[in-house]
Structure 1
Amino acid sequence: MKLSKILAAAERPLISCEFFPPKTDKGEENLWQCLKELQAINPAYISVTYGAGGTTQDRTKGIVTRIKQETGLSPVAHLTCVGASKDELAALLADYRAAGIENILALRGDAPEGMDRFEAVAGGFSHATDLIAFLREQGDFSIACATYPEGHPESKGGVEDDIRYLKLKQDNGADAAVTQYFFDNDAFFRFRDACTAAGVTLPIIPGIMPVGNFDQIVRFSSMCGATIPDWLRARMEPIREDLDAVKALGIELAAKQCRELLTAGVPGLHFYTLNKSEATIAIHNQLTDLL
């Protein structure tokens, strides 16, 4: 089902999950086991990323196609501007259309490994806004986009730039936005209010990253611009070597964060699963009164 219809028909907040394409067959086996386990919480849709720099495109296509063919879940294929011309993107979209894939999450994407900044290929796109406009011309896809409540790490204008670009993404055809993960709900609420004031009306779905390995989250956050609040450091640093304790605390804190977001009326929660199911299921099970 199209993401736009899923969101429009929802009477309760939705749960969705994100996966990355594994680089090995064993990793892909683990992914399918994780997907099987997550079906118990009935996610509204499953998104599948590209690898860093636009790699793993074939695995992304294979996974979303198999999700469509073999499960009752609605897949969302990530699509980036990295390393692809308009003609190559059109060919990929034709494959998706033929396979019955109806949902695309459109991103600019990160610079390929070894490059210090993003550069469009000849005949390609430099911005997600342009990719979204192109997608809208290519067929009847439902289009999601990304947004950054604390500002994109490359942005010189901070959060104000993200609000302006999100409005442009909406105007160019995006149906919904999924945020970068964050730990400070107040930052999200300020962002959401400012978006509303700027004329953004599409659903903004918070991205949730349960902490399972604090050192890993510190590394991820330094790359994506997510802020790690002092209170989170104070809770995590004393136990950072005890992964079981970190996971348990991560679930506790994420469940608390999600409860506050749901109480404040968000349309859903998008979990960055890192291809694992345990934390997402545990958090969901603490929120069933709100879902």
Structure 2
Amino acid sequence: MRISEIYRSGTFGLSVEIFPPKSESGDAELFRTLEDLIRYQPAFVSCTYGAGGSTSKRTIELCDIIQKQLQTTATAHFTCVGSTREQLLAWLQEAADVGITNIMALRGDPPKGAETFVPADGGLKYASELVTLIRENFPDMGIGVAGYPEVHPEALTPQADLENLKRKIDAGGDAVYTQLFFNNEHFYRFRERCGQAGIDCPIIPGIMPITEFRRIQRIMSMCSSEFPADLVNRLEAAQDDLDDQFEIGVEYAINQCQELIDSGVPGMHFYVLNRSQACKRIFDALGWHEDQA
């Protein structure tokens, strides 16, 4: 199912995001995770695209396996990093040839150590240009784009960030998938501002369950999101007990997700970090029982 079709019927769209493992043991863990999570019938599984395009071929391979062996729609992440226009088109053709019908179109992060994004010679500079490239050359592709409830760290102003998002939707984006956040008020304000700006596509909150305090601290430091003080205090008190951290994170995610559902979100996108235990607990608590989602 294409992204453009998922949310039309009013059916809640659950989706999960994985990354390409770097080892055989990682592959085995990933497919155990996928076998657990596809029982909840996600609308799609998305697969990230490594830094600098380092796993671009692997992304296509994993999406192909997900669709053919697991019988679940896949969405391939795709960035502008390190590629000419011709290379981008060649990658898109390869993805289309194996039956991928959804792309998550992203600019991509600057190379490690670089402060700003510099496009490759003959490449693209903005995600909106990538969306245009996809829509003009592969008009039937479903296209997801990224949104930032707490503002992209490189944006000059919140308004400039919103205008950039509008360009991505106007270029052909079908739905917005947000950066992770832990304070729902940021999402509600973001959704309201999107509506005021004329962005009328589905806006899907991105959720990352906390399973380990140190790991989430590293992730949060990279995305400049607010970490609510009460949650930090509870996790710090349990920093010597991984089981307690896991329980605190799952409980928080269940409450966060229920509030978002009550607010009328059309779907939810989970950053699962190639592990299923936390998401299974959350999905069950929210009534998304296996094979009944």
Give the TM-score of the pair, scaled to structure 2: 0.95
Instruction: Indicate the residue corresponding to 2:167 in structure 1.
Output: 168
Structure-1 separation of matches of 2:51 and 2:89: 21
| Cα drift, residue 289 of structure 1 | 7.3
Structure-1 separation of matches of 2:160 and 2:181: 18
Instruction: Indicate the residue corresponding to 2:86 in structure 1.
Output: 87
The 5-angstrom pairing of residues 91-240 of structure 1 reads 91-139=90-138, 140-157=140-157, 159-240=158-239
Structure 2: gaps (5+ residues): none
Code of the residue aligned with 2:37 in structure 1: it is: L
Structure-2 separation of matches of 1:90 and 1:256: 42
The 5-angstrom pairing of residues 58-69 of structure 1 reads 58-69=57-68
Code of the residue aligned with 1:208 in structure 2: it is: I
Give the stretch that moved more between structures: 78-87 or 107-116. 107-116
Structure-1 separation of matches of 2:242 and 2:122: 46
| Cα drift, residue 54 of structure 1 | 2.4
Structure-1 separation of matches of 2:53 and 2:211: 26
Percent identity for Structure 1 against Structure 2 = 43
SS, match of residue 8 in structure 1? coil
Structure-1 separation of matches of 2:36 and 2:131: 33
**Residues 42-95 of structure 1, C-alpha deviations (whole Å, 9 max, x = no match):** 111100001223221121111011112112211000000101111001011111
| Cα drift, residue 176 of structure 1 | 0.4
Code of the residue aligned with 2:100 in structure 1: it is: I
**Residues 4-57 of structure 1, C-alpha deviations (whole Å, 9 max, x = no match):** 112213x33221100010111221121111101112211111000012232211
Give the stretch that moved more between structures: 110-119 or 177-186. 110-119
Structure-1 separation of matches of 2:70 and 2:253: 28
Alpha-carbon RMSD across the aligned residues, in angstroms, is: 1.4
Structure-2 separation of matches of 1:161 and 1:271: 27
Check conservation: 2:40, 2:288, Cα contact below 8 A.
no
Structure-2 separation of matches of 1:224 and 1:61: 26
Code of the residue aligned with 1:66 in structure 2: it is: I
Structure-2 separation of matches of 1:57 and 1:29: 20
Structure-2 separation of matches of 1:278 and 1:121: 40
Q: Is residue 2:74 matched to residue 1:75?
A: yes
Give the TM-score of the pair, scaled to structure 1: 0.96
Instruction: Indicate the residue corresponding to 1:19 in structure 2.
Output: 18
Q: Is residue 2:284 matched to residue 1:280?
A: no
| Cα drift, residue 171 of structure 1 | 0.3
Structure-1 separation of matches of 2:107 and 2:230: 32
Structure-1 separation of matches of 2:58 and 2:88: 16
Code of the residue aligned with 2:44 in structure 1: it is: Y
Code of the residue aligned with 1:70 in structure 2: it is: Q
The 5-angstrom pairing of residues 249-260 of structure 1 reads 249-260=248-259
Check conservation: 1:23, 1:56, Cα contact below 8 A.
no
Structure-1 separation of matches of 2:255 and 2:160: 29
Check conservation: 1:13, 1:262, Cα contact below 8 A.
no
Structure 1: gaps (5+ residues): none
Instruction: Indicate the residue corresponding to 2:240 in structure 1.
Output: 241
Code of the residue aligned with 2:239 in structure 1: it is: R
Instruction: Indicate the residue corresponding to 1:3 in structure 2.
Output: 3
| Cα drift, residue 102 of structure 1 | 0.3
Q: For the structure 1 residues 289 and 85, does the alpha-carbon distance in structure 2 shift closer, same or farther, using more than 3 Å as the test?
A: closer
Q: For the structure 1 residues 59 and 186, does the alpha-carbon distance in structure 2 shift closer, same or farther, using more than 3 Å as the test?
A: same
Structure-2 separation of matches of 1:235 and 1:160: 34
